[in-house]
Structure 1
Amino acid sequence: MNETTIKTAARLLLGGALVVAGASHLTVARKAFRAQVPDWVPLKKDDTVVYSGLAEIALGTSLVLANDEHKEAVGKLAATFFTAVFPGNISQYVNKRSAFGLTTDTKRLVRLFFQPVLVYWALKSTDNV
């Protein structure tokens, strides 16, 4: 497999995962996602979950459908989104909120190290790195 094929597969996988995650914000995992919303966010937790779910669906769809002309911009937007929601992961750790099987401080801490991986993935799979 060549590098272009790998990047395309990675972009499509990330896009698909975002669509599924976004849909789960609106349905089966809505309560769990509320556990991640920091208390300082000035919106209702449920509204924040819905808006972030819609954003994930839009970003995921954009990653899947992006052509060569737009994929770098979409990748930067996805990386920015992953950075913007990182405080939710920190909040979940600091406030010891269990969700998504993250039931211990160690599991919640380890998860924090995966957010930079998502940022890199979004950038690398869209030719930004």
Structure 2
Amino acid sequence: MRRRPNSRPNGPLSVIRSIARWLLAGLLVFAGLSHLFWARRGYRIVVPDWVEQVTPLDKDAVVVASGAAEVLLGAAVVGLPRERRRVGALVAAFFVAVFPGNVHQWRTGRPAPLMRSDRARFIRLFLQPVLVAWALWSTAPVTPDAAAPARRR
């Protein structure tokens, strides 16, 4: 049976990527909502002081903007399937863009939501590349050849 060119592969890799994509979307939406509501005050600590000097935004505005961006990116991960690869690149870029805040928090030792110890803040630095890879991998296209098991001739 021939596969139509625009049909999606349904192999195990496709299912795993789909689950990873939905989990990523959920993480982004949850984190974004926390920035907008219950943890908003705590996240202002993470914003480096220099951000107010190089942008017209204060720390609270940065937290709100990043929270809104996370919610929108999370929705886009699952809501824009034709733009999946680009959205994945945007999510990865977002994770890179917020990394200076993670470094700032680690260097200053300031507690923030879920980051109350030096160890947690240090581990968070190594989690960021994992998030970048997760965003890129889970939104990458699965080709029919990659999804199909290898066949012997």
Which is further off, 103-112 or 46-55?
103-112
Q: Which residue of 1 aligns with 2:60?
A: 46
Q: Which residue of 1 aligns with 2:145?
A: none
Q: Which residue of 1 aligns with 2:148?
A: none
- Aligned residue for 1:19, secondary structure, equals helix
- TM superposition shift of 1:13: 0.7
Which of the numbers 45, 60, 72 marks the counterpart of 1:58?
72
Which of the numbers 79, 84, 87 marks the counterpart of 2:92?
79
* Aligned residue identity for 1:85: V
2:131 is equivalent to residue 118 of structure 1: yes
**What stretches of structure 2 of length at least 5 have no aligned partner?**
1-10, 143-153
Aligned counterparts of 1:82 and 1:63: Cα–Cα separation in 2: 14
**What stretches of structure 1 of length at least 5 have no aligned partner?**
none
- TM superposition shift of 1:104: 2.4
Once the two structures are superposed, what CA deviation does each residue of 1:8-67 show, in whole Å capped at 9, x if it has no partner? 110111011111111111100101111110110022110000000010011000002121
Q: Which residue of 1 aligns with 2:30?
A: 20
Which of the numbers 102, 121, 131 marks the counterpart of 1:108?
121
**What's the C-alpha RMSD, in Å, of the aligned pairs?**
1.5
Aligned counterparts of 1:27 and 1:128: Cα–Cα separation in 2: 34
- TM superposition shift of 1:127: 0.8
Which is further off, 100-109 or 33-42?
100-109
* Structure-2-length-normalised TM-score: 0.79
- Aligned residue for 2:132, secondary structure, equals helix
* Structure-1-length-normalised TM-score: 0.93
1:54 and 1:106, CA in 2 relative to 1: closer, same or farther beyond 3 A?
A: same
Aligned counterparts of 2:36 and 2:120: Cα–Cα separation in 1: 25
- TM superposition shift of 1:128: 6.8
- TM superposition shift of 1:100: 2.2
Give every structure 1 segment of 4 or more consecutive aligned residues whose post-TM-superposition deviation is greater than 6 Å: none
